[in-house]
A and B are shown apart, each in its own frame.
Chain A
């Protein structure tokens, strides 16, 4: 039996549109917009001003904060402006706008030789990860150097590499494992070297047999083990992965590292390889462009800062009028108010939905219990919803709403279409606000 966790759901995966589509690199846009907020953590400060000429891969923004990662120019050309621009997560965020001169002029340092790589200390690797602007490529975009540093400090015994890719539609990690498995394997070895551990587990859902075989063939006799997992959402959730692979439940309020586990996305490993060995900063990423109304579904290697509308144009536009755009997967992704915003480091996919998928009118809870059976964190969403409805946030807290990972399983299965994720987020927010108020008095 394949490794897995309890609860979860089986949405329609819809990966067949792009699972066999090779990663394409279309012509970059004439202008890129690099927001100063692309990761979890502090907003960056621009290092360039309008009129400056920047090389591709040159650092254009940075911050002193620990939880942050610098941003690099994804094209070469003149800085047109440094001003607030539309951000995919909503609102306006200070951004560096670069006009592409289509020269891709940049630092072309020679790759690090094997002996040079061997001589790197763990601290060197952490430093390179930071300077290259690496963040988790799975979607949450947590700065990689911060995770490595914390793992080094806390000590980690189990390294899990996340290739589960359990969100419907997204195939960017799948294609990465097929097209550059060696980069992923070398990146994993770098993390193993950095954290001084001898083994690692690559977790892949068993709906990607070709990826499992490919990764197995490039990791034979390296201490890296490929573990097939049941195909079930949210198998790629950190806590669910750790449960499936290490048979450990991360206690409430604790991090994976508190139980000796660190989880890195497969594409993050490949980015680390490119940063350390090829001396390439993070300026491109693979994005699955799909959804029910997209004409040509594709996996695209896009420059960070490419306008979202530009990528949809590259995919032939739409078969029907789109009414909803989602960045990330359909289960946890963010609905976009506009396609004029750029893609950022955490953009794993862009989806366009037509009318029928997006319309859901909430009805009364019928107490069917599907949300309880689906919850991978063993919560009782219907009772949290009930308590939230009468503003009883103490009861929400007693029902452990803080454990909610916002995976969306409850809301997905709810036959009454109750927006349970919204309820969870709002009650967490209300609890935090209440505590803040109590602390003041």
Chain B
């Protein structure tokens, strides 16, 4: 008698697997990556490729060392690598992506049990870890500066190409509002993947349209920052100030691609709204009152710590009870 497969229903499944989801995210990240490489040259591509390679290798070696099933095929390490690279200036010496990638994958992700079990966003936690070397992490060069592809640059070389970031200018009151259009297109200095507002929005909307992420977190995050920027513009014109705030720094990258990370964000829409508003509030608090001009990374990491409690408290109404039950 032939042996047939006998297993539980359902006997059909969606084609959408974890690798497919991760590939879709990578597709959404492709336009800002291309733009980053266009603005900062081959150096940006070298940093990104290196970060991805280190992330994937870290996960593969970790699994090998502990004799666990190999998981790099889920492509999540590739996404982490790209996102970490997006949060680095193109001028970093090449040991920075190596240290960051190892920290993101080994410390933040694998030691907590791997994909889905880490409570902090690996790429962001690694970025904050790398702030231990502020000299390398806070160099911002002009767009289209000619950077060497692989050679480490001396500080004087970098300083010669440097310019203040829009956020720094906003913070000090030196921002020229005729530059808003450059913030929108991405013709500004900054990290590799965070500069082009329009391309990040396109990528984010693509993910929402493909139902990979929902609108809750990005909208509530960005709207909260927008609202408080418009309410407290200081001496600046409110509308322009608000636009400059939401289009500068890592807000778009953070709101669409980092705060929506499955492992480290709430499950339900209502939970995501709370999460997004919390991220927005912490961001403006740091931006307006903190000593550091950017707060997106910290805000998301702080809210990551609240996901457990949000998911515990925000539960769906039980079917057949409460409002819609007519009995």
Interface, chain A (partner B; CB < 8 A): 9, 11-12, 90, 168, 239, 247-252, 254, 258-259, 322-326, 330-340, 351, 353, 357-358, 360, 363-369, 372, 377-380, 382-383, 400, 403, 406, 408, 411-417, 419, 421-422, 425
Contact = CB atoms under 8 A, between A and B. Distances in A.
B95 interface: no
Given A380-B316, A403-B318, A364 B115 contact: yes
A364 B59 CA distance: 15
B135 interface: no
Contacts of B76: 366
Contacts of B327: 248, 251, 254, 258-259
Contacts of A322: 4
A363 B9 contact: no
A249 B318 CA distance: 10
Given A248-B327, A338-B1, A363-B18, A358 B11 contact: yes
Contacts of A252: 318-321
Contact of A249 (B6, B9, B319): B319
Contacts of B13: 360, 411-412, 414, 417
B325 interface: yes
Nearest to A326: B11
A415 B18 contact: yes
Contacts of B7: 335, 419, 422
Nearest to A416: B18
B116 A332 contact: no
Given A252-B320, A366-B262, A408-B10, 9 more contacts: A250-B320, A252-B318, A259-B326, A323-B4, A331-B12, A335-B11, A367-B116, A380-B267, A417-B13
Contact of B11 (A90, A333, A417): A333
B21 A415 contact: yes
A248 B71 CA distance: 45
18 contacts: A248-B325, A249-B319, A249-B321, A251-B321, A254-B327, A259-B327, A324-B11, A330-B9, A331-B12, A335-B7, A358-B11, A363-B18, A366-B115, A366-B262, A372-B316, A380-B315, A382-B267, A403-B319
Contacts of B324: 247, 249
Given A247-B326, A364-B116, A378 B18 contact: no
B17 A417 contact: yes
Contacts of B263: 366-367
Interface in B114-157: 114-117
B317 interface: yes
Contact of A337 (B4, B11, B318): B4
Contacts of B315: 380
Given A248-B325, A415-B17, A416-B18, A408 B115 contact: no
Contacts of A358: 5, 11
Given A249-B326, A322-B4, A366-B263, A412 B115 contact: no
B16 interface: yes
A413 to B, nearest CB: 5
Most chain A CB atoms below 10 A, which of B9, B263, B325: B9
A258 B320 CA distance: 12
A258 B16 CA distance: 39
Contacts of B319: 239, 249, 252, 377-378, 403
Interface string B1-36: 100111111111110111011000000000000000
A328 B284 CA distance: 56
A335 B6 contact: yes
Nearest to A425: B8
B268 interface: yes
Contacts of B317: 378
B27 to A, nearest CB: 16
A339 B6 CA distance: 12
B116 A366 contact: yes
Contacts of A323: 4-5
A406 B267 CA distance: 21
The 5 closest A-B pairs by CB, nearest first: A408-B10, A251-B320, A378-B316, A422-B8, A369-B267
Contacts of A379: 316
Contacts of B325: 248-249, 251
Contact of A254 (B10, B71, B320, B326): B320
A364 B7 CA distance: 19
B9 A12 contact: no
B262 A367 contact: yes
A11 B319 CA distance: 23
Residue with the highest number of chain B CB atoms closer than 10 Å, among A338, A358, A367, A417: A367
A324 B5 contact: yes
Contacts of B8: 335, 411, 419, 421-422, 425
A249 B320 contact: yes
A325 B4 contact: yes
A324 B13 CA distance: 14
Contacts of A357: 11-12
B326 to A, nearest CB: 5
A368 B326 CA distance: 32
